[in-house]
Every structure is written in structure tokens, then in C-alpha cells.
Chains A and B, each alone.
Chain A
Amino acid sequence: MVNKMQPETTGSAVRVDHLCVVRGGLAVVPDLSFAVPCGQVTGLLGPSGCGKTTLMRALVGVQKVRSGTVQVLGRPAGTPALRNRVGYLTQAPSVYPDLTVAENLGFFARVLRAPLAQTGEVLEQVDLADHAGSLVGRLSGGQRSRVSLAVALLGPPELLVLDEPTVGLDPVLRRDLWTLFHRLAASGTTLIVSSHVMDEALRCDRLLLMRSGRLVADNTPQALLDTTGAADIEGAFLSVIGSAGNGSQSEGVVA
């Protein structure tokens, strides 16, 4: 049921070919191939433990892979030339709790060789400008993950890989972030956003549905609804899994 009608080489920000990742003797991602078009928001959806994080780590080049190729912006994932062109948001906020918001951004801006003036811009983008002087450790979980997101926006990167950026945020903030994602996409940034919340799927330009390390669908949300005849993405997901006939596979071990 995997729809493989992507453009061949041009227009793809990411090309994954027969990617295989083995962790602890288990093929977490057995054989994955897909392409992600430039300048769009691609949603990576699937239940917790389906291999989303593993795949995202492969895209930014921090995941050991068994075989297959991962091309990012025309180069093998993780090559030095890509390191300030790709922004990565890990699921757990990876910022320093004992530094202030501004100090965190200043540090990462220096490391990324981004102009320090950008730190103010990215704070505006994640709506944290009022908290620049606060210690990250004193912020709420949602605020902390937005600081982490702000760091990922520094550069600015051409490809943003965001692992569950909207978890734990209130609906207004979630809507604002999705508006930001689309604004970034409109300016040419490619975004890959993972989520296990199916209702976020409709906000994406394209969807990759994953289950047990396999891709069960790769399409636009509307096409997915049309082909399955389901009322919502959750229904489409179930319908796709049903017709793929791989009923009860193990959930895998990764987060």
C-alpha cells in the first residue's frame, strides 16, 4: 500500500533507500525507502515505539545503520557539510537546565556560527521572548521543549527534523507552532515532524505512516482519506494496517 510516486532526484530534500537499522539484535527498521519533497511539512506518524525516533536519528546522522543509504540535501546524512544545514529537535529537551534561555541560545549560536542576533528572532518564533532571562530548569516542560525547538531553529537550517515538537503544549500554542512550521516551509525550509497524535496529521502537507519500523502509507492526508474512505486519519491508519494484513506485529523496543 506504500505509494512510491515521489520525484526521482530533484525536489527531494531527503531520500532514504532500503534503510536497515538493527538495535540489540532486533531489526527496528528492517527496510525503509521513501523521499521527502523540499519546502513541505512532512508528518511522520505512528504509535510510540514504531521507529520514528530511530528514523529521525538516521536522518541527522547520529544513528548507526546496518545498510541502505540516507541522502539529505543531496549528501549522505551526517556529513560535516550538513551539520549547520540541518536542525534537530530531540524528543527530550536537550538544553542546559542550569543556564538561562538566552545563555542556552547564545551558546548554541556560537557553536553553530549563527549570528547572535538570531537568538532573539527564534525566541520570538517560539513565543518565549519574555523568558529570555529565566533559568531553563525553572520553566515548565512545554516551555523547556520550546527552548529546545528555538535552538533547532538557529542557523537557520534548510532541513528541520523535529521529534514530537508539540507534546504537552496547550492547543493555542500548538496551533501557533504549526503556523510557524508552515511559514518556515513557505520560505523554503523542509520540515519533518513526528507525532503520535493523529489529529496533527491533517496539518501536514504529506504523511508518512509508520508501524513496527515499516512504512504503511506515504501520501497526502487528503489522498489517504480518499483512498481508504475513512473519516479521519486514525481510521485511515487502521484501514491501511488492515489491508496490509500485518495484524499484530511486535511493537518494537525503541521510543
Chain B
Amino acid sequence: MSLRTTFAVARRVLTQLRRDHRTVAMLLVVPCVLLTLLWWMFDGEEAAFARFGPPLLALFPFIVMFLVTSVTTLRERSSGTLERLLTTPMGKGDLLAGYAVAFGGVAVVQAGLAVGLAVGPLGLDVNGQVWVLAVVAVLDAVLGCALGLLVSAFAETEFQAVQFMPAVVLPQVLLCGLFVPRDLMPDVLAAVSDALPLSYAVDAMQQVQRASGWTGDLSLDVAVVAGSALAALAVGTGTLRRRTA
């Protein structure tokens, strides 16, 4: 691993992103618009917004980063630049870490905007510390990045990469406790839910909203989300092959 190379990659990814105004807008504006839509839909029912708001703060960065990263890395794989990079001294981990740093940075901005909007103008009631919401959102974005990097190894076209969204992301969204609390699910599904990282991210958001202090459960949630992101990055690194057929 080389920090210098990691930052070179991160800087390059951010430069590319800066040129792509539409994607920047999608990354930063869409989560805020959706949150506002949710708030408007509940039309003053604070309890309902309080129930769905925090999980959505976990979902947006996850989904958006998953999509952006899977397509971007796939482009790198198919354009020949990945092959070229793998003939250079660059470590495989440097590349993925560079992506994670760049998109993690974007996630900080995204999470800041979405959390700020939710607890500010939209009046989301949070008992815990607001900055913890942002930290969980950023971890969640990195998790989305890591899974996106991972699935891009199994897609041959951008079209296929996008199809991984319903396959990999939607089951996690259904089982994360947003629609049915996890302890009310049938045993099998509760067990599956326990194995999915997004469940812990949503749980963390709900913890912050309910309890004012930092709880043991919250530590566990944060550790699982961060651990899953690292594990997905590690497996993603394994899918980069210097030699191909």
C-alpha cells in the first residue's frame, strides 16, 4: 500500500467527478429532494417522519454510492485503464482505497447535507448526537462503495452492473427493518437480516434517534458496518487480477 498512490487515485476520481456536473447534482441533491418528499408526504405527522427518516438517511448514501462506484469501476475495467494500471507499480489495494477515499469524501458532503436538512428545516427529532448520524451515513456510503466495487467484478457491461442494484441492494432494503421491525420478522428472515450489513446501519440510525447517549448496541452497529465495508474492499481487491485470459 502506498498513500501517495492512493491519493493520486482519489484526486483523479474527484477530478473526473468534478467534470460530471449531472452526477454531482444527483449525488448531493437527490437525497435531499427525496427526504423532503418523504417529509411532505407525511404532512406534519412527526411520528411517521421520525420512524422513516433515520433509516432513509442510511439508505440514500448506500444506494447512490453503490450505483456510482459499480459503474465507475466497471468503466475502468472495460476501458483498458485498469489493465494499464496493473502493469504499473500501483498496488491493487491502492486503487480501491483511492476510490474509497474519493467517494467517502463525497459521502461526507452528501451526509452533511441530508442530515442537516433532516434535523434542521424538516424538524426531525433526534435524541442522540446529530454528528453520529453523519458518521453512520458516511460509513454507509463507504459500504455502498465497497459493495459496488465488488460487484463490478462480476459485471461485463454497465447495463449488467446496474442490474446488481435490485439483486444486491433491494433485499437489504426490504429486510433492514424499515418496513417491518426486525424482531417481528419470521425467524428465517430475521436471521438473514442479521447477516446483512445494511440492517446494522439502519439500526444505528434508529439508536441515535432513540437514545441520547452512545450505547453498546450503537458501537456494535458501527463496528459491523465498518467491518463489512473493509471486508468488501478486501474481497474486491481480490477480484482485480493482474493476469487475465
Partners in one complex: yes
User: What 1/0 flags go to A63-94 for Cβ under 8 Å of B?
Assistant: 11000000000000010100110101010111
Residues in chain A near residue B85, CB distance under 8 A: 111
Provide the bound-state CA to CA distance between A84 and B19, in Å. Answer: 30
Complex Cα–Cα for A84 and B16 (A): 25
**When the two chains form their complex, are residues B16 and A94 in contact, meaning their CB atoms are under 8 A apart?**
no
Contact B83 A103 (CB under 8 A): no
* Contact residues in A for B79 (Cβ distance below 8 Å): 92, 94, 96
Q: Which residue of B lies closest to A87 (CB)?
A: B87
Q: With A96-B81, A98-B16 given, is the CB distance from A60 to B87 under 8 Å?
A: yes
Counting chain A residues whose Cβ lies within 8 A of the other chain, the interface size class is 20 to 34
Q: Any chain B CB within 8 A of the CB of A123?
A: no
A113 to B2, CA, bound (A): 11
Is A95 part of the contact surface with B, judged by Cβ < 8 Å?
yes
Out of A24, A64, A83, name the residue touching B88 (CB < 8 Å): A83
Q: Does B80 contact A (CB under 8 A)?
A: yes
Q: Which residues of A contact B84 (CB under 8 A)?
A: 88, 90, 94, 108, 151
CB-based nearest A residue for B86: A62
- Min CB distance A82 to B, Å, is 9
B residues 28-51 touching A (CB-CB < 8 Å): none
Complex contact B88–A103 (CB within 8 A): no
CB atoms of B88 and A111 under 8 A apart: yes
B122 close to chain A: CB less than 8 A:
no
Residues B64-84 near A (CB distance < 8 A): 79-81, 83-84
Total chain B interface residues with beta-carbon distance under 8 A: 25
Shortest CB distance A119–B (Å): 13
Give the complex CA separation of A212 and B15 in angstroms: 43
Dominant secondary structure at the B interface: helix
The reply on B5 being an interface residue by CB < 8 A is yes
Min C-beta distance of B150 to chain A, whole Å: 21
The answer to whether B87 and A61 touch across the interface, beta carbons within 8 angstroms, is: yes
Asked if residues B12 and A107 are in contact (CB atoms below 8 Å), the reply is yes
Which of B11, B19, B87, B88 is the most central at the interface, judged by chain A CB atoms within 10 Å of its CB?
B87
In the complex, A78→B12 CA distance in Å? 25
Evaluate contact between B12 and A96: CB separation under 8 angstroms: yes
A108 vs B81: C-alpha distance when bound (angstroms): 10
Known: A83-B87, A88-B84. 14 other contacts (CB 8 A): A23-B245, A61-B243, A62-B244, A64-B245, A78-B243, A83-B88, A84-B88, A88-B87, A94-B80, A98-B20, A107-B8, A107-B11, A110-B8, A113-B4
Indicate whether A112 reaches chain B with its CB closer than 8 angstroms: yes
Residues in chain A within 8 A of chain B (CB atoms): 23-24, 60-64, 78, 80, 83-84, 86, 88, 90, 92-96, 98-99, 103, 107-108, 110-113, 135, 151
Bound together, the chains give a CA A108 to CA B15 distance in angstroms of: 14
Instruction: Select which of B12, B81, B242 is within 8 A of A103 by beta carbon.
Output: B12
Given contacts A84-B88, A111-B90, contact A90 B8 (CB under 8 A): no
In the bound assembly, the distance between CA atoms of A197 and B4 in angstroms comes to 41
Which residues of the other chain, A, contact B20 by a CB distance below 8 angstroms?
A: 98
Chain B contacts of A63 at CB under 8 A? 243-245
- Pair A96/B16 contact, Cβ less than 8 Å: yes
B81: chain A residues within 8 A (beta carbon): 94-96
Nearest B residue (CB) for A54: B245
* B186 on the A face (CB < 8 A): no
Query: Which residue of A24, A78, A92 is within 8 Å of B80 (Cβ)?
Result: A92
B89 CB-CB contact with A under 8 Å: yes
Return the chain A residue nearest B84 by Cβ. A94
Closest to A135 in B: B19
Q: List 28 A-B contacts (CB under 8 A).
A: A61-B243, A62-B242, A64-B244, A78-B242, A80-B89, A84-B88, A86-B87, A90-B80, A90-B83, A92-B79, A94-B79, A94-B84, A95-B81, A96-B79, A96-B81, A98-B20, A99-B19, A107-B8, A107-B11, A108-B84, A108-B88, A110-B4, A111-B9, A111-B85, A111-B89, A111-B90, A112-B89, A113-B89
